[in-house]
């Protein structure tokens, strides 16, 4: 129950911090209120590895985006999580929008972003024949990664290296002792006592800070809704395509993003709401997404969407100026020593996450404590690679060892029973339909679980003795 460091929030940043801490001789606990990691902001976003040209020069976002760009790909390589440097276009529909591209180009150069250039309509068509635009900023270094899978890999690898992961645990009370902090759950249970607390609770980070009297932060939730195109249309797009964004700075505009799994994402919207848990998709917003998407890629009028979903951006609100801050807040509390707040970590938080983690460990904690590196640290994630990605010899060898790998459960995504069982045997003991979905992509294809749902329920019942109502509750 006593730890050196407690990390609250198991999104991509909290999980990256936990993994970085697991490289040292420290007792660490990672706590999240959900039944699995990556259930908040890190689950529902565009999954873009940002090159760094669209953030304000001199900001924390600029610094950590720049450092994170190299660190994220290095970390993904260590873990064995796939990513792709797919490139990106920011489209100006007319001459009136071109000055914004020039502004982005100049900002990118100040931010030391490599591989940027302005291209014309003819060059746009050679890169993306289905996109309409007169001018574009072309970025050679933008990439994509599956954000929830990267987060899962970080958290599971941290667990494999000694971090205790405590799920289904919402911290509702924190008491400040002489040399430590005590964290309590809603039931009054003492979850941990630790010298350091790292608050990376995403949309709840302001609430966590207020538990120790840090009341200056306020998160204003901004919902982003998306459409998903069937992967049958994956050849319609090669790279991420963005418009010139809205002038209010609420987001980067409705854009097209290819995914590592072959689908194309369309979105997000930018809707300021009061309920930070409201993940509804709305008819009005869906129609607006379609309208804006059709302007960039008219051909998609002929294609079907297989799903819609929404995520929340944790906009850090400035009550004094009645506006949103443009930057991350990452700092040790002014009033609570050894209590580190990470507030307003929105885009480019995914790209920045490994750099933020290194900064927290080396530059904040490491400045106050002598940290000893472990002699043994295994940075490779033990999660299952997709069978569909293996060659025939590897697949046959696997089937000979375990016949469950010959039984296809999800036809759309070619997921076998063996993969599902391995996913459910994860070190976090996250055993739910959502846990399976994020780790294997079962239920994410064209039929959205129409074929495989009953089979997945059967596996959870027979293999893990989980009751049907509990399975459906965590769907």
The closest alpha carbon to 164, from 35, 30, 19, belongs to 30
433-440 vs 147-160: helix axis angle to the nearest 10? 100
147-160 vs 349-358: helix axis angle to the nearest 10? 20
Pairwise CA distance, residues 304 & 448, whole Å: 14
Pairwise CA distance, residues 101 & 125, whole Å: 18
Pairwise CA distance, residues 315 & 272, whole Å: 9
Pairwise CA distance, residues 59 & 327, whole Å: 6
Rg (Cα) of the chain, in Å, rounded? Answer: 22
List own/partner pairs for 99-102 with CB under 8 A and 24 or more apart: 100/244, 101/135, 101/136, 101/137, 101/244
Pairwise CA distance, residues 247 & 241, whole Å: 18
Token pair for residue 28?
A: 């660490």
CA angle 410, 415, 421 (to 5 degrees): 105
414 is catalytic: no
- Dihedral sign for Cα 43, 46, 47, 51, please: negative
The closest alpha carbon to 40, from 201, 157, 155, 271, belongs to 201
Residues 50, 255, 329, 414: which is the catalytic one? 50
Asked whether 92 and 255 are in contact (CB, 8 A), the reply is no
CA angle 466, 452, 301 (to 5 degrees): 135
Say which DSSP state 114 is in. Answer: -
Asked whether 24 and 373 are in contact (CB, 8 A), the reply is yes
Asked whether 325 and 317 are in contact (CB, 8 A), the reply is yes
Pairwise CA distance, residues 108 & 142, whole Å: 12
The burial class, CB within 10 Å (0-12 / 13-18 / 19+), for 94 is: exposed
List own/partner pairs for 283-286 with CB under 8 A and 24 or more apart: 285/225, 286/225, 286/227
Active-site residue list: 50
């Amino acid at each position: 129950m006593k730890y050196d460091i407690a990390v609250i929030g198991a999104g991509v940043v909290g999980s990256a911090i936990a993994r970085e801490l697991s490289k040292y001789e420290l007792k660490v606990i990672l706590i999240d209120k959900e039944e699995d990691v990556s259930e908040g902001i890190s689950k529902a976003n565009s999954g873009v590895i940002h090159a760094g040209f669209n953030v304000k020069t001199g900001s924390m976002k600029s610094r950590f985006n720049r450092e994170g760009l190299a660190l994220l790909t290095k970390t993904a390589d260590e873990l064995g999580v796939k990513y792709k440097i797919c490139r990106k276009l920011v489209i100006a529909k007319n001459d009136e929008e071109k000055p914004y591209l020039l502004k982005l180009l100049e900002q990118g150069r100040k931010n030391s972003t490599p591989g940027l250039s302005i291209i014309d309509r003819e060059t746009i068509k050679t890169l993306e024949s289905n996109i309409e635009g007169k001018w574009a900023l072309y970025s050679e270094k933008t990439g994509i990664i599956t954000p929830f899978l990267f987060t899962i890999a970080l958290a599971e690898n941290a667990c494999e290296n000694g971090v205790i992961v405590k799920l289904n645990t919402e911290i509702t009370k924190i008491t400040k002792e002489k040399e430590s902090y005590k964290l309590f759950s809603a039931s009054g249970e003492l979850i941990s006592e630790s010298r350091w607390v790292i608050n990376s609770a995403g949309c709840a980070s302001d609430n966590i800070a207020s538990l120790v009297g840090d009341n200056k932060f306020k998160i204003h939730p901004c919902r982003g809704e998306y459409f998903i195109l069937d992967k049958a249309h994956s050849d319609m797009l090669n790279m991420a395509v963005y418009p010139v964004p809205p002038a209010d700075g609420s987001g980067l505009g409705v854009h097209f993003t290819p995914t590592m799994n072959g689908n194309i994402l369309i979105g997000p919207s930018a809707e300021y709401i009061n309920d930070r848990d409201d993940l509804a998709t709305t008819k009005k917003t869906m129609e607006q997404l379609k309208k804006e998407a059709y302007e960039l890629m008219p051909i998609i009028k002929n294609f079907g969407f297989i799903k819609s979903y929404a995520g929340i951006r944790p906009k850090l609100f400035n009550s004094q100026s009645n506006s949103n801050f443009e930057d991350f807040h990452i700092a040790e509390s002014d009033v609570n020593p050894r209590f580190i707040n990470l507030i307003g970590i929105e885009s480019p938080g995914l790209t920045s996450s490994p750099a933020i983690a290194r900064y927290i460990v080396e530059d904040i904690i490491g400045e106050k404590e002598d940290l000893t590196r472990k002699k043994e640290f295994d940075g490779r994630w033990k999660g299952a690679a997709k069978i569909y990605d293996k060659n025939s010899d590897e697949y046959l060898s696997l089937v000979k060892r375990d016949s469950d790998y010959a039984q296809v459960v999800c036809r759309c995504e070619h997921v076998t029973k063996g993969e599902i069982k391995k996913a459910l045997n994860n070190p976090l003991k996250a055993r739910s339909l959502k846990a399976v979905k994020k780790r294997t992509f079962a239920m994410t294809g064209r039929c959205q679980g129409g074929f495989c749902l009953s089979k997945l329920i059967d596996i959870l019942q027979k293999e893990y003795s989980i009751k049907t109502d509990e399975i459906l509750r965590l769907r």
